[in-house]
Amino acid sequence: MELALTLFLLLSVAAWLWLLRVLKPNPGPRKSANLPPGPNSLPIIGNILELGEKPHQSLAKLSKIYGPLMRLKLGTMTAVVVSSPETARLVLQKYDQVFSSRTHVEAMRALDHDKHSVSQLPTVGNRWRKLRKLCKENMFSVQRLDGSQGLRREKWRNLHDYVKECCVNGQGVDIGRAAFTTSLNLMSEALFSMDFAALGSADSSQEFRDIVWGVMAVVGKPNLADYYPLLRLVDPQGILRETTFYFNKCFAIFDEIIRQRLQISDPTPKNDMLEALLEINQKNEAEFSFSDMKHLLLVLILN
What would the pLDDT profile of 216-269 be if each residue is shown by its tens digit? 889 888 888 998 988 898 999 999 999 999 999 999 999 999 998 888 766 677
Residues 6+ apart with CB under 8 A from 130: 287
**What is the distance between the alpha carbons of residues 248 and 241, in angstroms, rounded to a whole number?**
11
Q: Residues 28-65: pLDDT tens digits?
A: 444 446 889 999 998 888 998 888 888 889 999 999 99
Count of residues in the chain: 303
Look at residue 29 in the predicted model and tell me its pLDDT.
43
* 44 exposure class (CB count in 10 Å sphere: 0-12, 13-18, 19+): buried
Contact 36, 69 (CB under 8 A): yes
- Highest mean pLDDT: which range of 11-20, 114-123, 251-260: 251-260
Q: What is the pTM of this model?
A: 0.77
The mean pLDDT of 145-150, rounded to a whole number, is 84
**What is the distance between the alpha carbons of residues 153 and 299, in angstroms, rounded to a whole number?**
24
The DSSP bridge partners found for residue 70 are: 81
How many C-beta atoms lie closer than 10 Å to residue 164's C-beta?
11
pLDDT tier for residue 16 given thresholds of 50, 70 and 90: low
Using alpha carbons, select from 46, 60, 69 the residue that is nearest to residue 227.
46
The mean pLDDT of 200-215, rounded to a whole number, is 74
CA angle 158, 178, 156 (to 5 degrees): 30
Residue 284: pLDDT above 90?
A: no
pLDDT tier for residue 105 given thresholds of 50, 70 and 90: confident
- Highest mean pLDDT: which range of 15-29, 72-86, 125-139: 72-86
* 155 exposure class (CB count in 10 Å sphere: 0-12, 13-18, 19+): buried
The mean pLDDT of 173-194, rounded to a whole number, is 88
Amino acid at 234: V
Look at residue 302 in the predicted model and tell me its pLDDT.
84
**What is the distance between the alpha carbons of residues 6 and 12, in angstroms, rounded to a whole number?**
10
How many C-beta atoms lie closer than 10 Å to residue 133's C-beta?
10
Residue 92: DSSP 8-state:
I
Look at residue 255 in the predicted model and tell me its pLDDT.
94
Give CB contacts under 8 A, 24+ apart, made by 235-238.
Answer: 235/106, 236/9, 236/13, 237/6, 237/9
The mean pLDDT of 166-194, rounded to a whole number, is 88
